Every structure is written in structure tokens, then in C-alpha cells.
Structure 1
Amino acid sequence: MSSPFASLAFAKPVVDVEPLGGGGMILRSPEPLLPYERHLGEMLRAAAAEAPERDFLCERAGDDGWRRLTYGQARRDIDAVAASLLARGLGHGGAEDARVMILSGNSIDSALLTLGAMQAGVTVVPVSPAYSLMSEDHVKLRTIFRQIRPALVYVEHAPPFAKALAALPMDGIELFYGKTPPADGSDAAPFSELLATTPGPEVEAAFAAIGPDHVGKILFTSGSTGQPKGVLNTQRMMCANQQQILQASPHLAEVPPVIVDWLPWNHTFGGNHNFNLVLKHKGTLYIDEGKPAPGLIEKSVAAYREIAPTHYFNVPGGFALFLPYLESDPAFRDHFFSRLRLIFYAASALPQDLWKRVEALSVAARKERVVMVSSWGATETAPAVTAVHWEIDRAGIIGLPLPGAELKFVPSGEKLEMRVRGPNVTPGYLDRADLTAEAFDADGFYRIGDAGRLADPSAPEKGVVFDGRVSEDFKLTSGTWVHVGALRIAALEAAAPYLQDVVVAGQDRDEIGLIAWPNLAACKTLTGEGEAAAIVASPALRETITAAFAGYNRRNPGASVRIPRLVLQTVPPSIDANEITDKGYINQRAVLEQRAGEVARLFAETPDDAVIVIAD
């Protein structure tokens, strides 16, 4: 018998279904969307008035513990930043199309700049630090810079960004730094300068002038099919989405959330869902300087050893690297779960193996299962369209449409393509009327590109199941469809925990093959320490993976799911080549294009020794 769930207040799962011709349908919540704030500044001021001494944001301060920013201080600093920008002729009453570009990662100062700029009517553009720090050619960074034409650029520490800044035409553009000035003495001002202006009536006038349709930020997508696109994020989108989430999950209003979060603010998961959720509910966000990567996950673990969260948000790759620390240390496990109310994953599908391990840890720590849920959406939807707001016992369900959102299903091959309409949907892309027109159908639904289906057509209230990307599926030479999203998860579960990610190959071929990246930390438990090439070549690892997929193939003999061969990679996916985002999402199509040689190797009539062939 399963352990009980910890009690949590959710809205009842209900949905209205409107059938459409040809097998399609529209799902809607019967609950109306209630009023919400005009802009994020109203959220901040409400929190500052109600809980001025509560910590809003905390970040590491070297050996001195945490730098803490209360809501009261945040209100004062944000007003000062807004006053400084207005004094420069930016925003309300001046250059109303002015933009601020943030190149570095999450920090208290970048948050103050973000909220202060929005309050002045200046649009904020947080850019992936990887475009500056991991790129060799800075093509994406220069493309974004040309598109947004910023009036001001911000970096937390200037020296690591020296090459990136040198690649940009910075003449006439102010550069601000948070903690470390440029090493070469080039012109830059400290962020503290923006805090030195005394706010006056011009700040209140700007605050009052901001409406729901003002573009608060521009988030650039990861450019899976080319250079990044600038997604306009209005205040309406961001504020409506937080109200939508609250109505589905009223427990959020019961206890101010305390989260430790690494998810980057240049992405919608971290920058809209999590940051705005903390702000909406007057909670506390500890900025995690780690991330799910070898050498950095340890920083996340150190933060969680100090801070027991009320809510845990992560991508599946983050779960995979974090769980071993909880499993090997009962005291840490018990501390982590001590006040945890909700576990949330998004951005990609969670393998069931990880789900079961999380539940086992929860039961060991609490004798009950902390509720695990997911949501689904996109950068263009700020981000949540659907959410799970009931107890579930396995991964895969992405929930039901939130109040105010409409989810249309349109037949596409063997799948149902999902399209979205609602107040949380973007008005379009920066300076790309062509892309904006292509993105919406004749009824105004945004074409998100994902497929879904009802978990139980006879009981739609059981929710929607994510069914992969419409464009990723392909046919074998036999005409059999291969559903990439489901197969990827099945492959990761079959070889857990030894594979970090896989790309499914085989279009117009007789059988399926995998390009796979090893989870080096897990593999070292089999092979011992060593470089990636030695680990991948290890007989122990290859035999283990072979045995895992041989068992999987016996259970799944069909051509559309059977995995006869794979090749392990030692070269990480490249951000410059669009193979991966800095959040860790693998771009299936880009990998297959960039690694055409590996694909040919995989399907060679006589494969070389690097290819693992799974015998019948």
C-alpha cells in the first residue's frame, strides 16, 4: 500500500471540453480568471507594505554568509533605480522604447535593476550568460544586441565578460557593474550609482503610467531553429499567469514560499514562474550559485544544507544530480524535507525512475509523500498554460488548462498538436511581424509546437499527457512512426542512472539508434575515476548498458520502440551550434545535423567498436 500524500490545498480538477471537427477539441477551465495586478511593481509594493522586514532576496556573500534584501529595502532601492533611469531620459516621458541589457546571471542587483527599469517604463532584456561566457564567436550575443539597441548594459563581474563586451559596439552605451569593474580600466560605473538618485514625483508618475500591455521584458528563446527570437513579455502576461497559478494552487497563499533556486532569470521558468511566484506571495528566494553540472551541483547542495525550502523547483536533469546527495545522507534528507510542501518539475519530461526515488526519499523522511506536480507552457506563455493541481503518482501528466487559458487540440499526423490562447500569451516577437503571423492560427491560438492527449478520454478531468514535439517524430523505412519524446524517456529509464540524455535517430532508416551522453558521476561508480573517453570505453559500462537495453528490447520488441544500437558521446553538446540551451535542454534536430558523422557511424553496415550493438 502506498504511503499517504501530505495534505495540500488544490482547486478541484475540472474542465470543459468543446469538440471540434476532425477529432480536435478545446479544453477550458470553467473557473473565471479573477482580477490581477496591472504590473509587477504593484506586487512589490504590496509586499513591502505588508512585510517590509521579510527577506525578499538572498545571495551568497563570500565567507560572510548571505547578503539579504528585505522587501522594504527593495522598495526603496527599486524607486531609486527608476529615478536614475528617468533622470537619464529613459522610459516614461523620455525614450519609451529604451531597453536595459543584462548579460550576467541571477543576483540581487540584477533583480533591482530589472524591477526598477520596469517601474520606469524601461524594457529589460536578460540574456543568457552562456552567449557571453561559453560562446567562441559571440554571434548570438551580437545578433541580440543589434536587435534590442540597449541604452544600458549590466554585468555583475566585468572581467569574465571582457571578450563579450569587446565584441559589441558599446560606443555611447553606459556599462554598469555590480561587484567587479573591468580589469583594463575601461569606462564603467558601479551599480551603486543607480541607487544614489532620490526618487521624486516622476517615479510615481511613471509607476501610474505603466499598463498591462507594456512590454516589461524581452526573453530570447534558445534558437533551436536558428538565431534566438525575442519574445515580448507584457506585464499582463506575467501578472495574469501568477493569478492563474494561484487559483489552481491556493495553497501558495497559505505560507510565504521559501525557495533555493538556480534557474536562470533569462529563461521563463526561473525568471517568470519562480521569481514572480515568490514576489506574488511575498516569499523569500535564495539565489543558488550552483547548477545541475559537475563541479557546480555541490554549491547547490551546500545551500540546501543551510536552507530547508518550502517548495522545490527544478528540471529533470537537476533531480538526477541532486538526489544522490539526499540518498547518501539521511540527516540531509530529513532536513531538506522538513518543511517541504511541494515538489515541481518542468521544462522536459521526468523519467519515472527519478519520480520513484523522490517519493522513496519523502517517505523515508516524513512517512508521507510530498506532492509532486508539473506544469506546461513556453516562453511565449509566461510560462504556465496547464498545471497539475491534484495528487498524481507518476510523471507524464501536465495538468489541465489554468483559468483564463484555452487549449486547442488539432490533429497532426498521428498526434494532436496543442495550441494556446489566453491573457498570458505573448503578442509576438521583437521586430519580426513575419514570425508573429506564422505563430498564430486564424483563431488567435499560439502554435506552441507540442503534442498532447487526454490521459483518459472518458474522464478528461484526469488531465493532459505530454506527447512530445510534433516536429521531432519521424518514420522508419517501414512507414512506422517513432514518437521521439516518449522513446527518449523510456531509454533514460532503461539505462538509469548511467545516461544523462539521448537523441533519437533513425529517420528513413530501418531501425532506431541513439546518440547518448553518459552521466559521468553515475558511470564512475562502475568504472572508477577517469576522463570521459576512458569511462565511455570501459567494458564495465558498456556491458551494463548492453544488458539494460537487451532487457528493455525484450519487453519492447516493436520496431518503433526497440533500440538496437547506440553510440556514447565524449564531446558535450555545443551551445554555439544550438545543440543545447544553458538550461540543459537538448535540441534533437540540431544534434542530428551537427553530428551527421556520428549518425552515419551509428548506422554503418559494419559499425566500429565505439557503437554499442544490442544483440537480439
Structure 2
Amino acid sequence: MQRTTRFRPHKVLREDRADGTILLRSGYEIGPVADRTGDWLHQWAGAAPDRVFLAERSGAGWRELTYAAALEQVRAVAAALLARGLGPDTPIMVLSGNGVDHGLLSLAGQYAGIPVVPVAEQYSLIHGAHGRLRHAMELIEPRLVYTVDADQYAEALALDVFDGVEVVATRTGASGATPFSDLLKGDGSADVDVAFAAVTPDTVVKILMTSGSTSNPKGVMTTHRMMCANQTMIADSLPFLRDRPPVIVDWLPWNHVFGGSHNFNMMLANGGSLYIDDGKPVKGLFDRTLENLGMVAGTALFNVPVGFSMMLAALRKDEHLRRMVFSDLDMVFYAGASLPQDVWAGFESMALEARGAVPLMTSSWGLTETAPATMIQQEPTDRSGVVGVPMTGVTLKLIPDADGRCEVRAKGPNIMPGYFRDPQKTAEAFDEEGFFVTGDAMCFVSPGDENKGMRFDGRISEDFKLTSGTWVRAAQLRLDMLACLAPLAADLVITGADRDEIGVMIFPNMAELEAEGYSTDAQEGALADPHLLSDIHRRLAERARDISGSSTRVARAIALAEPPSMPEAEMTAKGNLNFRRVLTRRADLLERLYAESDPCVTRI
């Protein structure tokens, strides 16, 4: 298969210890690492002053900010922040989503050594999620908060936790908030150069709130060293990033490490251009994403699996869009979950048809605490779900179990120093050798050949035992069941802990059900259409014919009428299910799933 993207072959060093643990390292040395993100900004403002760095939609076109203009405005905003007395101990919180002003404020904080804390915009815009916002405010205690539109965020800003906090907004409305344009005027009383010189690789300049899937969100302290080393690691693995400046059209939220650290800094470190997509892969907003993709030819395409699935369907119908998306593409990069193999194959065949070659199709693995990229599939593969090999500068400690599944721990310059104001959680996060305990599990793609890479095998905390003592690997089984029930299931929860059989609680794709003519009438929280239940039963039965063991045989299913609730913490800010919370909040439906007889439950 013809490929045009330059890649670096895997080269892994392995050490087997007497206690059974395995250490994996890259066989390549890590390249030069910048000290501060501001060094990148100075580099590209000098080397490519007129190149677009950030852009956002403005009317029928784009508001574009060049590297030279970005440096000038970042220094002005940094001066205004310093003149207000802000510093390392007075964080800034950002309430709203991606935007040019948001980017300028973040970079100004990094330039001056002031931590910036972006939180999920849902915390402010969804009334029931204000508890998460309150928790973040009480933990961080910011001196200044920013939002793009003060009127839109007025309900959240009226909470008592904002008393005495300066509010800055791009659109102030009737709020009395400080206009962001005031910060752009700078302040001659502040010495920005002195502040910038005082910033070191160990300066904490970003605090990212974890999703809080099992507890209140924790604040991950992120340093310049973490972000700068991680971009060197990424470019070491993906050499085409250094061959020419990358261009992306990207919606992934900056309050999350994938969009805000991985992708944003990839553009800044390599002199690239980030066109901010104001759409996302949800009904009512995805058309905007398609419009934006049709306006700019990117060199890399980032998304979550559901986004790629929606995009593939749209690309099949639109020749102009196909031409724009594939004309200059070096890489298709998915994260968040495994990409369905049929979607993978669809992008490969479409790329071959559109340009006669396939870009690098790949994924990576990491967490908020690892900045994030720690493993990457840096050479071509023909399958989805592989997260690859250790990146330069990283050491992985693998603790195998009897089945060859490995708990993964990590050490390297991209690992966090700890959680903000939480020394106990920080201590618990590292083992006696200083490795970060990720809680994730991996398996070798080809045991005995480390260079084939590893595949993600779930969170260890999600595994459970049936009453027979049989272990159920819930993460992989969930992916299998999503494939089995596609496109009826938007998501699902695997059940069966301390029970005789595995079950699934299905969150249906309501649009698909309606399109197929199924009824969405509910009985006490569960869908009751016999035709839907019959279809689910048929699929489970067909799958069960090929399964001999109880560890993967799903015997019961119930379709839930109510979608997962963010206010009730059933869904994280990243859009992932909080499985424990779903099972707790819907305990009555869980009991119905295992009852002897229920008209809304299908059994095989």
C-alpha cells in the first residue's frame, strides 16, 4: 500500500527483572527540549512572523492571528496580568471553550508564570453541573476568570464563589465585566522581560482538572518541562512534523489534555497553524465542522472515534470535502477509544481513491498526568486499537499477570509533579521507584516482539469477577459489544460484578431508533419496544454462538430511556461514561436487568 508520510520505525529496548516486571524504553534518544513555551513563540515570530498561528471563524471567513501578532499580544496581556499583582500563587480560570482570546490568555499566563486553569464549559452552562464548577473554584481560588461572553455565562458568574473575583470577557454585554480588549492594551508598569526570565522548566503554568469519574476532579499541575518535553517526544516519533509546518482544523476542547496540550502545543512547537473548529461531533453542530473542514486543507486530522464515524459518512457524499480533507494529509490520529475497524478501512480506501496514498493512521496513549503522549504507534499498521511503543525519554514499567496482561507505570520528563493542593493523592500516585501508577492495562500485540507495540486493555479498576470467580475484562468487552450493537447503541455499561452472568445497560442511539421505526416509549426508565428487544436478542445470540467461556458471554440486556446525565455525574466533561455512577444512580434498572422476568429485559 503506497504511503507518502515519512515515519520512524519502532525500536524498543527491553529489560526483564528478576521479580517479573518488565522495563521498556525507546531505542532512540530524546531530541533537544525547549525550556518554555514562550521560547517557541519567539522562535516562530522571528522565523515566520506572517504565518497564521491561531484562527477562529468570523462571519463567512476566519479571524487569523499571525505569530508576530501573537507574540506582541501575549506580551501585552502578560503585562496587564502582572500589573494586577497576579503570579505563581494567583491562578486564572477559563470558563468558556476554545477561541483566539482564550489562547492568548493561556499563553500570556505561561509567559509570565501565572497558572491558567481551563475548565469544561459545561460546568458553567449546565445548571445541574454547577457543583463541579463550585468544586473547581474552591480548590483553585482564582483571582481572575475569563469567559468569551459574560451574558451567556451570567448564571454561573452569579454564584457566590465568584464574589471578589475579577471577571474578564471578550463580549461583556451588560455584566460590567472587564473587556478583554483592556488586557490587550498592556501596562507599562510591569516588566514582562523580568517575569519571563524568571520562568523555568519546572514552573507550573497550567492546572488541568481530571474528569472526576470516581471522585471530585483533581487538579493536575502541568509544567513547562512536561509540555515542552512532550512535544519533542512527539516530533521524535513523527518526523514529518519537522518537515513542514502542520495545519489542523480542530474542535477538541482545551480544558482536556488532548486538545489543549497535545494539539495546541503541536502547532506552536512546530510553527503550525490551528484553525479552531466551532463545531463538534454532535447533532446540530457537526454540519459546522464539515463546513470548516471544507474551507481549510489540513495536514493532520484529529478526532475521537464517533467523530471519525460521522465524518466518514459525510465524506462519502461530498466530493469537494473529500478533496479538501485528503489533499494534503499526513496523518489520521484517533484517541479516546479504539477506532472501529470498518471506519479505519473506510478512511484507508477513501485516501487511496482521493490521492493514491494512505496517510499514517495512528493513535497514542497517555493521561492528563503524562502531558499526555507516552506511547505511540509511530510506524504504519493495518489495525485499529494499537497504541504502540514507548516514546523517547520515557521508561515504562510493566507488571504482568498470569494472562500476560500488564499493569502500566511510567517515568519521564512528561510526568506531572503532583496534584494541586492534594499531597495525599500525589503520594498515592507514585510507586516506591517514582513511577506514576496509571491504573491502565496493556497487552503485547505479538508476545515476544516488543516492536509490534502494545494495545490498550482497559482500566484495571473497571475489571470485575462473576460469582464463579471468573474475571471479566470490562473495557475490551465494552468495545466488542458496541461493535455488536452498532448503530443501535450510542454507549453502554457492562454489568455482572458478583453476579452469575454478564449483562449490558444500553444507552440507545435515539436518532437511529427513530430512523429505523422503533418505538421510544418507556416503562419506568427502560425502552419496551418488542421489536427493538428482539433485534438486540438476535445480535446477542449470534455473538454467543461463537463464545465458549463465561468471561465474554453477554446474557442479558436492557435499553435505557434516559441518556447519561452530566449534572448527575454520569458523564464526564470529556463525554465519557462514569460507569460507577451510572450503576449507582440506576440501581433499580440494574436490579431489573437481573430479575427473573421483566418485559424490558432480553435474555439469551
Give the structure 2 partner of residue 265 of structure 1.
254
1: CA distance between counterparts of 2:277 and 2:172? 20
CA separation of 1:537 and 1:199: change in aligned 2, threshold 3 A = farther
Paired with 2:593 and 2:534, the residues of 1 have a C-alpha distance of 18
Q: Could you give the per-residue CA deviations for residues 77-117 of structure 1, whole angstroms, max 9, x where no partner exists? A: 001001111111222xxxx3121110000000010000011
TM superposition shift of 1:525: 3.8
Give 2:89's aligned residue.
97
Q: In the alignment, which of 239, 245, 267 is matched to residue 250 of structure 1?
A: 239
Give, in whole Å, the separation in 2 of the partners of 1:518 and 1:309. Answer: 33
Secondary structure of 1:90's match? coil
Q: Contact 1:475–1:508 at 8 Å: present in 2 too?
A: yes
Partner of 2:344: 355
SS at match of 2:397: strand
Cα offsets for 1:46-85 (capped at 9, x unmatched):
1111111111111111x34211111111111001001111
Aligned pair count reads 601
Counterpart pick for 2:309 among 309, 316, 320: 320
Shift of 1:510: 1.2
C-alpha separation in 2, matches of 1:304 and 1:361: 16
CA distance in 2, matches of 1:609, 1:205: 71
CA deviation after TM superposition for structure 1 residue 598, in Å: 1.7
Stretch deviating more after TM superposition (165-174 or 400-409)? 165-174
Paired residues of 1:308 and 1:338 also in contact (CA < 8 A): yes
Shift of 1:574: 1.8
What SS class does the counterpart of residue 194 from structure 1 fall into? Answer: helix
2:593 to 602, 612, 615: 602
Equivalent residue for 1:127?
Answer: 119
- Give the letter aligned to residue 420 of structure 2: L
The AA in structure 2 aligned to 1:157 is D
1:355 Cα shift? 2.0
Q: Which residue identity lines up with residue 513 of structure 1 in the other structure?
A: G
Q: C-alpha displacement at 1:289, in angstroms?
A: 1.1
Larger CA deviation: 127-136 vs 150-159:
127-136
SS in 1 for 2:487: coil
TM-score by length of 1: 0.94
What is the rounded CA distance, in whole Å, between the counterparts of 1:177 and 1:301 in structure 2?
Answer: 28
Q: Tell whether 2:378 aligns with 1:389.
A: yes
1:41 counterpart SS class: helix
1:152 is aligned to 2:141: no
Partner residue in 1 for 2:78: 82
Deviation for aligned residue 1:129: 0.8
TM-fit CA distance, 1:541: 4.2
Deviates more, 1:563-572 or 1:461-470: 563-572
| Structure 1 segments unaligned to the other structure (5+ residues) | none
Contact between 1:352 and 1:493, CA under 8 Å: does it hold in 2?
no
Which moves more between the two structures, 96-105 or 568-577? 568-577
Which residue does 2:57 correspond to in 1? Answer: 60
SS in 1 for 2:32: coil
8 Å contact kept, 2:120–2:573:
yes
Structure 1: distance between partners of 2:125 and 2:401: 40
Select the residue among 112, 130, 135 that pairs with 1:138.
Answer: 130
Distance 1:164 1:343 in 2: 37
Q: Which residue of 2 aligns with 1:35?
A: 32
Alpha-carbon distance in structure 1 between the residues aligned to 2:480 and 2:188: 57
Deviation per CA, 1:317-356, whole angstroms, max 9, x where unpaired?
2223322211233442233212111000112222323322
Partner amino acid, structure 2, of 1:370: P
Please tell me whether the aligned partners of residues 527 and 541 of structure 1 are also in contact (alpha carbons under 8 angstroms).
no
Residue 106 of structure 2: which of 98, 114, 120 is its match? 114
Alpha-carbon distance in structure 1 between the residues aligned to 2:49 and 2:188: 18
* Paired residue type of 1:34: G
Distance in 2 between the 1:516 and 1:302 partners? 32
1:583-612 Cα offsets, whole Å, 9 max, x none, are 221222222222212211111111x22223
SS of residue matched to 1:347: coil
Identify the match of residue 5 of structure 2 among 8, 26, 40. 8
Equivalent position of 1:545 in the other structure: 536
Conserved? CA contact 1:526–1:541, under 8 Å = no
Q: CA deviation at 1:256?
A: 1.2
Which whole-Å CA distance do the structure 1 matches of 2:245 and 2:517 have between them?
45
Question: Bigger CA drift: 549-558 or 392-401?
Answer: 549-558
The code of the aligned residue for 1:89 comes to: G
Q: How does 1:227-306 map to 2 (within 5 A)?
A: 227-306=216-295
Q: Distance in 1 between matches of 2:152 and 2:540?
A: 43
Give the match for residue 69 of structure 1. Answer: 65
Give, in whole Å, the separation in 2 of the partners of 1:21 and 1:5.
44
Larger mean Cα displacement after TM superposition, 379-388 or 287-296: 287-296
> Match of 1:147, SS?
helix
The 3-state SS of whatever aligns with 2:462 is coil
Query: Is residue 579 from structure 1 mapped to residue 570 from structure 2 by the alignment?
Result: yes
Shift in Å, 1:173? 1.7
Shift of 1:265: 0.4
1-structure distance, mates of 2:527, 2:172: 40
Shifted more, 16-25 versus 368-377: the winner is 16-25
Indicate the residue corresponding to 2:43 in structure 1: 46
Displacement of 1:429: 0.3
Q: Distance in 2 between matches of 1:276 and 1:489?
A: 30
Q: Which runs of 5+ in 2 are unaligned?
A: none
TM-aligned CA distance change 1:337 to 1:200, over 3 Å: farther
Please give the secondary structure, in 2, of the residue aligned with 1:334.
Answer: helix
* Distance (whole Å) between structure 1 residues aligned to residue 228 and residue 349 of structure 2: 36
Cα distance, 1:292–1:325 mapped onto 2, change above 3 Å: same
Is the partner of 1:517 in helix, strand or coil?
strand
TM-score by length of structure 2 reads 0.95
- Quick check: 2:254–2:260 contact (8 Å CA) kept in 1? yes
Q: Distance in 2 between matches of 1:562 and 1:407?
A: 33
CA 1:328–1:214 in structure 2 vs 1: closer, same or farther (change >3 Å)?
same
Q: Does 1:161 align with 2:153?
A: yes
Match of 1:25 among 4, 7, 22: 22
SS in 2 for 1:409: strand
CA contact 2:211–2:574 (8 Å) conserved in 1: no
Contact 1:263 1:583 in 2 (8 A): no
Equivalent AA in structure 2 for residue 45 of structure 1:
H
- One-letter code of the match for 1:577? E
Task: Give the whole-Å Cα distance in 2 for the aligned partners of 1:540 and 1:372.
Answer: 38
CA-CA distance at 1:458 after TM superposition: 1.7
1:177: which partner in 2? Answer: 169
Offset at 1:27?
0.5
1:200 Cα offset (Å) = 7.7
Contact 1:17 1:28 in 2 (8 A): yes
Deviation at 1:538, TM superposition (A): 4.9
Instruction: Decide which of 431, 446, 449 is 2:421's aligned counterpart.
Output: 431
AA aligned opposite 1:393: D
Contact between 1:262 and 1:291, CA under 8 Å: does it hold in 2?
Answer: yes
Q: Please say if 1:588 is aligned against 2:579.
A: yes
How far off its partner does 1:552 sit?
Answer: 1.5
